Structure 1
Amino acid sequence: MSKYLLNKFLFTVDRDPDLVERYREDPQGTVEWWESSEANRILACHLGESSSWLRFEDDERTALATHDYPKLFELGAHPFLTLTLFIAMFERDHAEPLGFQLEYARKLAHMSLPYPDITT
């Protein structure tokens, strides 16, 4: 399992409005594309420089491809990264103020301390 890679996906997608929309509309395709072309790029380095060993585990890939943020939390994805990305994708689907944030809290209510380790 690579919490680093999960968090890198959440971080990079959240910072690009086009990728946010792409991930909202085609999560599986976006995850497949990102893993094959973006996962191994080295952040803040020269273009063309990359590694070759980073891959999602099956449970990580499935959770990302199904927008399963409770599972991502259980896997150790950083909760601030999941929350900000999923707010950008799904807040518009809720009529009430803080609608998505309240749903997020409800879906994670079964979690108790100690929370999963989010260190990378």
Structure 2
Amino acid sequence: MSRYLLDKFLYTVDRDPELTERYREDPAGTVEWWEAERANVILNCHADERSTWLAFTAEEREALAGHDHVKLFELGAHPFLTLTLFIAMFERDHGPLEYQIAYARAMDHLRLPYPDIAT
């Protein structure tokens, strides 16, 4: 499991409006493409500089493809990253603050200690 890679996915997708829409419409395809094309690109470095070892686990891929923010949190993804990205994707489908309230309710069963989200 790589919390770094989960957070990197959420961060990079959230900062690109076209990629955000792509992830909303085709989550599994976007996750597959991103993992193949962007997962090993080193942030803030020359475009040709890459690592070779980063990959999602099957569980991470499934949670990302299913837009499962609760599972992503349980896997260690930072909740601010999932919240901001998921608001960008789904808030338009709901009334004021409805999505944020539903997001919080879905995580209501979680108790301290929360998963480690340190990076």
Structure 1 residues without counterparts, runs of 5 or longer: none
State the distance in 1 between where 2:57 and 2:118 align: 18
Structure 2 residues without counterparts, runs of 5 or longer: none
State the distance in 1 between where 2:58 and 2:78 align: 19
State the distance in 2 between where 1:113 and 1:55 align: 29
Give me the identity figure in percent: 71
Normalising by structure 1, report the TM-score: 0.98
Which one-letter code corresponds to 2:29 in the other structure? G
Structure 2 residue aligned with 1:47: 47
Structure 2 residue aligned with 1:104: 103
After the TM superposition, which residues 1-120 of structure 1 pair with which residues of structure 2 at under 5 Å, given as runs? 1-95=1-95, 97-120=96-119
Normalising by structure 2, report the TM-score: 0.98
CA RMSD of aligned residues (A): 0.5
Runs of 4+ in 1 over 4 A off after TM superposition: none
State the distance in 2 between where 1:46 and 1:20 align: 23
Q: How many residues align?
A: 119
